[in-house]
Chains A and B, each alone.
Chain A
Amino acid sequence: MCQNTDSSAVQAEKQKQPVRSFEKIREILRDNNHDPARLVPILQKVQEEYRYLPEDAMSYVAAALGLPAARVYGVATFYAHFALQPKGKYIIRLCDGTACHVKASIPILEAMRSRLGLGEEQETTDDMLFTVETVSCLGACGLAPVMLVNEQTYGQMTPEGAVALIDKIMEQENNQ
């Protein structure tokens, strides 16, 4: 039918070798049957692998699922769980749900951000050690104000306590 397998367009395409083969993403896609309806679980797995969603990874997923890149990006920007920037080794998630908010979570946030020297809109330190972000509710309102450092929960936090915790982690890191 179409006698065009040797076209110059295809040749040019072949010559442009990809930098990465995205082996891990391919595996994730296979595990999910390349099903576009499973976009969210696929992106979750990809984020688990890369610790955030790089643009190339999203483009790859979009192309493999036959979805427009804008759709994938739209989904990725809709959910707070998805990160579009690389995150630090320690991800601090401060709860700013109603209970934590009234128990003064914002001063804790400000104390941590100033201790880490984070600029406006900046969430991750330049040395990629810490990321500080707020989340809506961790479901531990009894411990308010509460925060997570990676998977570890810390309840009844104070600005001083949070800064001390950061100092402790920094010390550990320096000793390693």
Chain B
Amino acid sequence: MRNTSETKTTLTVNGREVSFNEETNLLAVLRKADIDIPTFCYHSELSVYGACRLCIVDVEGRGIVTSCSTAPEPNMRVRTDTKELRQMRKINVELLLAGHQRECPTCDKSDTCRLLEIARRLGIDEIRFKENNRQQPLDRSGVSLVRDPNKCVLCGDCVRYCGEIQDVGAIDFIGRGAKTQVAPAFNKGLGEVECVNCGQCAAVCPTGAITPRSEIEDVWEALHDPDKTVVVQLAPAVRVSAGEAFGGAPGELATGRLVAALKRLGFDQVYDTSFTADLTVIEEANEFLTRYQAGEKLPQFTSCCPAWVKFMEQYHPEMLPNLSTCRSPQQMFGSLAKRMLPERLGVEKKNLVVVSLMPCTAKKFEAKREEFWSDEMADVDHVLTTQEVTRMIKEAGIRFTNLEPRAFDMPFGFKTGAGVIFGSSGGVTEAVLRYAYEEVTGSRREEFEFHQVRGNRGLLETEVELGENKIKLAVVFGLGNARQLVERVARGEADYDFVEVMACAGGCVSGGGQPVNGEEETRERRIHGLFNADETLQLHAPQENPYVQEGYNKVLREPGSEIAHRLLHTDYTNRRPTLGLEVPEEHHPRPKEKVKIEVCVGTGCFLRGSQELYSELAAYLKETGQEEEVELCGTYCHERCDRGPVMAMAGIRPMTCRKTWMSEHGPVVSVDEELLENCDVNAAKTAIQEKLKKLN
């Protein structure tokens, strides 16, 4: 006899035995077996779409199927490499290429384009189909992202990411057939709709159809201008990903080389956004402690993530007072730099250019918010993503791997570990705790870590003791997760004191401007890199940063002071997309659950008077005006003829549809497992009313 546990978990791929257990589709099983089946439209986090038809395999007895949408079964015999499959894959890629603008040398995505990679892998050397690409205008309406419909292959990855993970749905399939496009509503541009600029669409796009909007030329211009002094701030998450563009592993710390490369590019001063992250922690923690003591505007939501801020402004403007008023580290840096650096560096304010180096596309939007402009000058003039800066380094011909590491410039280059872990989900919370613990208890913990807020999960809930108080925390990433949390808070179903939200999975390390990396575990490795960097620094709590202290002594006085408010805090705008088209409250109720009653009208029950019972109940429901709430219908034999007439009653959920009303010992009605014996029509009526009461 064969061992059942073994037969349950293996199938055959190309004659080789492959085991599986929790994989929900064949594609995942094949990948685990180190067979890299090409695909565009499959992402393990998203729903299965099955549109690109590249992951086709031959399953014995079934023919050719898409492996992404086929569940693995024991003893399946799968082939991935037949002549027919190879030909079909090639044809599919050729068809995609026929509709794709093939200007690879000038495309932003060429380095990491999956279409290009797959075409090369499959050895496509000619396209036998007529080009059907109508030249369409680029959407450059947004400051963060550029949409090029000519390069879209309609795989729908961006649509599903935006809708399923971020719960924004700024783009969708518009039109039909050959005219189908992925676009925002009403022929508008990305900059005119609910897009929160997180850039995850660009990260999942297999081609260059959505890309971060480049500011490379603006920055070169500033660097080439002899009158300008150009300073740059480097965000935490950039240091653990930039190396990937030069052959490094994800998570490998490239801080020193990056600083060296930036100096070579011509930046006059290289500073660290982690410095102002330390400052953000102090301001945000003090704001929180004030609110906590007063018991108002709780939970306090973090405000470092500009995609999340715009999300709140659009969908929950009534909760904006709960958002921390702290500017993000990027904007705190810009504000302080424009105020303090002209004197320090001996330049006129108009000749000081502040560039920031971010993992994030939404930071481009943030820098252009009018709140962060004064005297017609932006606090942060240009925002480069990691992708852009690595391209600049390559353009300049700098051999990154050969560079000698260099140190940041002082004072804005000095940071503690608290400012570094900002780049990971949970990092802001942990940094705030490191500060708040000492502030509240007046004592120092032996270890600086708060492991309970680490975890790289979409929603992490925990409690932390600060002195006598237990602080209820939530750490969230993914705006869909955030929306659920906010709605639970609004309905009073959840109660937190402090909530950290980051739009991207795992936090800024997966930002839309980071190098696109198909490697698995990239996110984990980058997070690991940040915590390693924290570990190797001497200081871990923001209050230990001497330059932050100096900033308070010289300029800001104390956390939350009037001047700190002016320079480091902000306010928010209601950006509800339907502003002026207000939808009244009555429009939000969900469709009501109905009570479904099924009376058996099979022969046995019919003879025992089920028809009369039915008519009587129908008349009764009409009389009570409950026809809308109760769905009464006849059904076929319940196979309980000896106990007829039989009536089934339940909510619409099929699991509970088998509750029966039997008449062996007199009619019996069952409602939610509870049997009522010796039941008559009146008892049925009572049961209906009770059930309705429960539902309402």
Q: Contact residues of A with B, CB < 8 Å?
A: 1-5, 7, 9-10, 12-13, 16-19, 22, 26, 29-30, 33-35, 55-56, 58-60, 62-64, 66-74, 77-80
Contact of A34 among B175, B317, B588 (CB under 8 A): B588
B579 engages A60 (CB within 8 Å): no
Taking the closest CB of chain B, its distance from the CB of A156, in whole angstroms, is 30
Write out the residue numbers on chain A whose beta carbons fall within 8 Å of the beta carbon of B592. Answer: 33
Determine the residue in chain A with the shortest Cβ distance to B322.
A2
* Docked-complex contact A9 and B577, CB < 8 angstroms: no
Q: Is B1 an interface residue (CB 8 A)?
A: no
Residues 490 to 527 of chain B near chain A (Cβ within 8 Å): 490, 492, 495
Chain A residue with the shortest CB-CB distance to B183: A70
Interface pair B185/A70, CB less than 8 Å apart: yes
Q: A35, A63, A68, A77: which contacts B163 (Cβ < 8 A)?
A: A68
Interface 1/0 per residue, B556-596 and A, CB below 8 Å: 00000000000000001110111111111011111110000
**Chain B positions within 8 Å of A10 at CB level:** 317-318, 574
Q: A13-B579, A60-B578 are in contact. List 19 more A-B contacts (CB 8 A).
A: A1-B489, A2-B319, A2-B489, A4-B320, A5-B318, A9-B572, A12-B574, A13-B576, A59-B578, A59-B581, A63-B578, A63-B581, A66-B588, A67-B169, A68-B168, A68-B169, A69-B577, A73-B172, A74-B172
Docked CA distance A82–B20 (Å): 47
B296 at the interface (CB under 8 A from A): yes
A22 to B296, CA, bound (A): 37
Tell me the bound Cα distance from A53 to B580 in angstroms: 18
| Contact present for B174 and A74 (CB under 8 Å) | yes
Among A69, A71, A78, chain B packs the most CB atoms within 10 A around the CB of A69
B286-339 contacts to A (CB < 8 Å) = 296-298, 317-322
Interchain residue pairs with CB less than 8 A apart (25): A1-B298, A2-B489, A4-B320, A4-B321, A4-B322, A9-B318, A9-B321, A9-B573, A12-B574, A16-B580, A26-B586, A34-B589, A58-B186, A59-B185, A59-B581, A63-B577, A67-B169, A68-B163, A68-B172, A69-B185, A70-B171, A70-B183, A70-B185, A71-B169, A71-B172
Q: Tell me how far the C-beta of A73 lies from the nearest C-beta in chain B, rounded to whole angstroms.
A: 4
Report how far A172 CA is from B489 CA in the complex, Å: 63
- CB <8 Å contact, B492 and A77: no
- Tell me the interface secondary structure of chain B in the complex: loop
The answer, among B170, B175, B194, for a CB contact under 8 Å with A77, is B175
Whether A70 touches B320, Cβ cut-off 8 Å, given contacts A60-B583, A63-B578, A78-B176, is no
Name the CB-closest residue of A to B576.
A13
Q: Which residues on the A side are within 8 Å of B582 (C-beta)?
A: 13, 18
CB distance A7 to B318 under 8 Å? yes
> What are the 5 closest A-B residue pairs judged by CB atoms, nearest first?
A68-B169, A70-B172, A69-B185, A73-B185, A74-B172
User: How far is A29 from B580 in the complex, measured between Cα atoms in Å?
Assistant: 19
Contacts from B to A (Cβ < 8 Å): 163, 168-176, 183-186, 193-194, 296-298, 317-322, 489-490, 492, 495, 572-574, 576-584, 586-592
CA distance A79 to B320 in the complex (A): 39
Q: Which secondary structure dominates chain A's binding surface?
A: helix
- Report yes or no: B184 in contact with A70, Cβ–Cβ below 8 A: yes
Cα A62 to Cα B576 in complex, Å, equals 13
Name which of A1, A33, A66 has the most chain B CB atoms within 10 A of its CB: A1
**A34-B186 in contact (CB<8A):** no
| B174 surroundings in chain A (CB, below 8 A) | 70, 73-74, 77
Q: How many angstroms from the CA of A158 to the CA of B59 in the assembled complex?
A: 55
In contact, A1 and B495 (Cβ under 8 angstroms): yes
Cα–Cα, bound, A59→B578 (Å): 7
Closest to B177 in A: A78
Known: A1-B489, A9-B320. A34 touches B590 (CB 8 A): yes
Tell which of B171, B317, B322, B588 touches A13, judged by Cβ atoms closer than 8 Å.
Answer: B317
What chain A residues lie within 8 Å of B590 (beta carbons)? 34
Q: Are A64 and B583 in contact (CB under 8 A)?
A: yes
Separation in Å of the B264 CB from the closest CB of chain A? Answer: 44
Contacts of A69 in B (CB 8 A): 185-186, 193-194, 577
- B-chain residues with CB within 8 Å of residue A3 when the two chains form the complex: 296-297, 321
Contact between B193 and A70, CB atoms less than 8 A apart: yes
A33–B253 alpha-carbon span in the complex (Å): 55
